[in-house]
């Protein structure tokens, strides 16, 4: 904020100058305060996915993007987990909406979804929780959901509900590029970035179309398969990263199978702008002796991953 002062009036009347200054200072302070107040009252963090990546790039850092399933073991633990992840160094958090038929997910996330649904987790309760928690987070939240729950509500309504909860990004793994236009239009109206996935089996021309259309970042699936921890990262990731970066300047985050600090370090070394860690996180929370233990382990694990990243 720039304050222009007329030098003549400033010099001529010292009384008035100090008076002016006294007047201007509170004015300045009040404006600043009101801005801060607006920031805390606002239901969306000021920063979206693209902006987060830009900031990190300037700092020479790689984004850590954990994924957890909402409602496993229960929504109040999920609420706490979001805060733990945020405070332990996550740059973006992906929150999975549990679904009865998750085609892209392996046994760990499938089991988490089944448990969450069995506890009665539904979309409305997830949104309710997010409305309370998102304002307390410093990093943006992206929802990971399959298409049918979106269709059931209607795309327009779904996007508007999700926007009101403060969500800034969306990943829908079972909608092909050709069908994403409507989703993208409605998401854009609501300031939500629709992230698209590209995989090792995607031919180069199609990959080019995907990266052009993707918003927020490009999600590179590291291997041919579903989600789930793997012992090592496929070496194909290095060449895939290179190919994608020839086609776009957008940030690229790698996901599926990444579960250890060594993996994260390796992928960052290959030039990824972000790493997504899902099943390893979900497993920690789901298999812990108690929710408190799970949250503690989650925090430790997140910090170890963050430490392995530049």
Partner 1 sequence: MAISVSSSCRNPTSPYKSFSSSLYLPRIPFKFEKYQYGCSDFKPASISCVMTRESAIQVEEMEKKWNNFQRPDSFGRFGKFGGKYVPETLMHALAELESAFLSLSVDEEFQKELDGILRDYVGRESPLYFAERLTEEYKRPNGEGPHIYLKREDLNHTGAHKINNAVAQALLAKRLGKKRIIAETGAGQHGVATATVCARFGLQCIIYMGAQDMERQALNVFRIKLLGAEVRAVSSGTATLKDATSEAIRDWVTNVESTHYILGSVAGPHPYPMMVRDFHAVIGKETRKQAMEKWGGMPDVLVACVGGGSNAMGLFHEFVNDADVRLIGVEAAGFGLDSGRHAATLTKGDVGVLHGAMSYLLQDDDGQIVEPHSISAGFQESISIGGHNTSFGDISCIRLFGEIMPNTAKWI
Residues lying near partner 1 in the complex (CB under 8 A) are found at: 99-107, 110-111, 114, 117, 122-123, 146-153, 173-179, 196-203, 206, 210, 221, 224-226
| 234 three-class SS | coil
Q: Catalytic one among 91, 94, 186, 193?
A: 94
Q: Which of 72, 86, 91, 105 is catalytic?
A: 105
43-67 in b/e form (b: 16+ CB < 10 A) is: ebbebbbbebbeebeeeebbbbbbb
> Which is closer to partner 1, CB of 121 or CB of 266?
121
The answer to whether residue 94 is catalytic is yes
The partner residues of 207 in beta bridges, in order of sequence, read: none
Query: Shortest approach of partner 1 to residue 223 CB, angstroms?
Result: 9
When the beta carbons of 183 and 305 are compared against partner 1, the nearer one is: 183
Between 90 and 110, name the residue whose CB sits nearer to partner 1.
110
Minimal distance in Å, beta carbon 211 to partner 1? 12
Choose between 68 and 195: whose C-beta lies nearer to partner 1: 195
Smallest gap from Cβ 184 to partner 1, in A, equals 15
Closest approach of Cβ 297 to partner 1, in Å? Answer: 25
Cα-Cα-Cα-Cα torsion 135, 138, 144, 147, nearest 10 degrees, comes to: 50
DSSP 91: S
Helices (H), 119-191: 123-133, 147-153, 155-164, 180-189
Burial class (CB in 10 A: 0-12, 13-18, 19+), 225: middle
Cα–Cα distance for residue pair 194/163, rounded to 1 Å = 13
- Which residues belong to the active site? 94, 105
């Amino acid at each position: 904020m720039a304050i222009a002062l007329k030098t003549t009036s400033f010099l001529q009347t010292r009384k008035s100058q100090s008076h002016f200054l006294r007047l201007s200072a509170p004015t300045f302070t009040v404006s600043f305060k009101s801005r801060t107040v607006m920031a805390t009252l606002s239901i969306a963090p000021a920063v979206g996915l693209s902006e987060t990546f830009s900031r990190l790039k300037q700092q020479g850092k790689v984004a850590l993007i954990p994924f957890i399933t909402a409602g496993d073991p229960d929504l109040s633990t999920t609420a706490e987990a979001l805060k733990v992840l945020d405070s332990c160094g996550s740059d973006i958090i992906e929150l999975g909406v549990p679904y009865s038929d998750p085609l892209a997910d392996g046994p760990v996330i499938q089991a988490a979804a089944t448990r969450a649904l069995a506890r009665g987790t539904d979309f409305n309760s997830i949104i309710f929780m997010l409305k309370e928690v998102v304002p307390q987070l410093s990093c943006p939240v992206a929802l990971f959901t399959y298409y049918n729950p979106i269709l059931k509500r209607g795309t327009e309504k779904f996007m508007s509900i999700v926007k009101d909860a403060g969500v800034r990004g969306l990943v829908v793994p079972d909608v092909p590029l050709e069908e994403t236009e409507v989703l993208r239009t409605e998401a854009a109206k609501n300031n939500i970035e629709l992230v698209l996935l590209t995989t090792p089996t995607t031919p180069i021309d199609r990959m080019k179309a995907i990266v052009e259309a993707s918003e927020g970042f490009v999600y590179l699936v590291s291997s041919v398969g579903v989600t789930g921890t793997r012992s090592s990262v496929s070496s194909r990731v290095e060449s895939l990263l290179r190919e994608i970066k020839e086609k776009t300047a957008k940030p690229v985050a790698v996901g599926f199978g990444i579960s250890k600090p060594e993996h994260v370090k390796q992928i960052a070394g290959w030039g990824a702008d972000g790493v997504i860690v899902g099943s390893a996180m979900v497993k920690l929370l789901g298999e812990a002796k108690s929710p408190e233990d799970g949250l503690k382990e989650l925090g430790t694990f997140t910090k170890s991953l963050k430490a392995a990243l530049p």
